[in-house]
Structure 1
Amino acid sequence: MKEKVLKSLREAIIRGYLTGGQQLRQDEIALQLGVSRVPVREALMQLEAAGLVTFYPYKGAVVSTLSPDEAKEIFEIRSILETEALRFAFPNLSDKVLDRAEQLIEEASLEKDPFNWSDQNWKFHSFLYQYANRPRLLAIINSLHESVDRYKRIYLKTLSFYSESIKTHKQLVSRLREKNIEEATALMKKHLKNAEFHIIQYLTRY
Structure 2
Amino acid sequence: MIFIRYENWKSYLKFYPATCLFLLANVVMFLILTLNGGSTDPYTLIDFGATVDTEPYKSELWRYLTAIFLHNGFSHFLFNSFALLVFAPPLERLLGWWRYVVLYLFGGVLANVLSMALSTPSPGVDGTVSVGASGAIYAVYGAFLYIALFQRASMDEGSRKTLYGLLVMGLITSFAIPNVDYMAHIGGMIAGFFIYGLIIRLFKRNRR
Q: TM-score, normalized by length of structure 2?
A: 0.28
Task: Please identify which structure carries the higher helix content.
Answer: 1
- Structure of greater Rg: 1
Scaled by the length of structure 1, the TM-score of the pair is 0.28
